[in-house]
Structure formats: C-alpha cells, structure tokens
Amino acid sequence: MDKELQVVGFRIGRETFGVPISLVREIVRVPSITSVPNAPDYIEGVINLRGRIIPVVDLRKRFHEIVGEPNKKNRIVVVELENRLIGLMVNSASEVLRIPPSEIEAPQDVFQEGELNYITGVGKLRGRLIILLDLNKILQRGELRRLDDVAESIDAVPAGTRER
C-alpha cells in the first residue's frame, strides 16, 4: 500500500491549498514586515526571524486574490526551497493533512495542459478539495534569485536603521 501524502494545509480566499510537509520549516504569526522598494507587488517585504532575514511572498496577491485587512488568522508559512528560507503569507494555516494516493487526481485530469503548471494534483479529503502546489513553479528561478537579492540588500543595512 502506498503511503499517505502529508501536506501542510493553508487557506487563500475560500480555497485550501497544500504543500509537502517536508518543505515547511515553521508557521508563524505575521510579525512586522519591512517593505522593499521596487519589489514586485506580491513581495510583501522581509522579516527578521530569529536573526535571519527572510523574504515574504504574499501568495494571496500571487494568485490574484483580493487581500482584505490583516487579521489574527493570517500566517506566514516558512518554507525551504533550494536551500533558502522563504515566507509565504496566507489567510490561515494550521493543519497537517494526510491524503491517500488513491484520493489524488493528477493535474492533467483536472486542468488543461500548461494552464496551471504549478498544481501537482487535487486531493479529496472528507468532502473537501485540496489543491496541491509545486512551490518551485510558483516561484520561478529568477524570482528566487531576486528574493535573495532583496534579503541580502536588507541584511547589509545596519540593524539600527532598518525600521521606519
């Protein structure tokens, strides 16, 4: 029997998304975010997480969702991609979902070819649909390098001058 897929579930708008638990380092409340000039609109800025400067991508903006006022449920899912930490801003996150392989539909069975290439599948779990994401495709290599540049430029600023 195949092992269940374990994903960390989070919400954007009314939908539930999942990323492999192996990529998630932690889930944190939204701290103070330092904005970065000239960054794309979906890059919220950077945060200082225990001394590490981490860029934050607002997945809600990346998926063209309407972003309402911040609330207490908003979270940053800290993931590791290609040996770098990246924060993903979501409406809420908390649960680890276990999805049997037999309950996962391949993306080509659901979407047109190339339409949404960042979706690895759609899982069915207790009457809910969970959209499974490939973070490497959501954040293309050029964007990942740009996030590195953003974090490094902020890291180079003396600590006392970071906050506005």
Please write the tens of the pLDDT for every residue from 137-161.
877 655 666 666 666 666 665 555 4
The answer to whether 79 touches 86, Cβ cutoff 8 Å, is yes
The answer to whether 88 touches 79, Cβ cutoff 8 Å, is yes
Radius of gyration of the chain (CA): 16
Please write the tens of the pLDDT for every residue from 58-85.
999 888 888 878 889 999 999 998 888 9
Please write the tens of the pLDDT for every residue from 92-116.
997 899 999 999 998 775 555 555 6
Of 34, 45, 41, 62, nearest to 133 by C-alpha is 62
Query: Which residues, other chains included, contact 40 with Cβ-Cβ below 8 Å and sequence gap of 6+?
Result: 143, 146
Q: What is the pLDDT of residue 77?
A: 97
**How large is the average pLDDT for residues 31-57?**
90
- Residues 35, 39: Cα–Cα separation, whole Å: 8
Q: DSSP alpha helices (H): ranges in the chain?
A: 59-62, 107-110, 135-138, 141-155
Q: What is the pLDDT of residue 161?
A: 47
Please write the tens of the pLDDT for every residue from 27-40.
999 999 999 888 88
pLDDT bracket for residue 11 (50, 70, 90):
very high
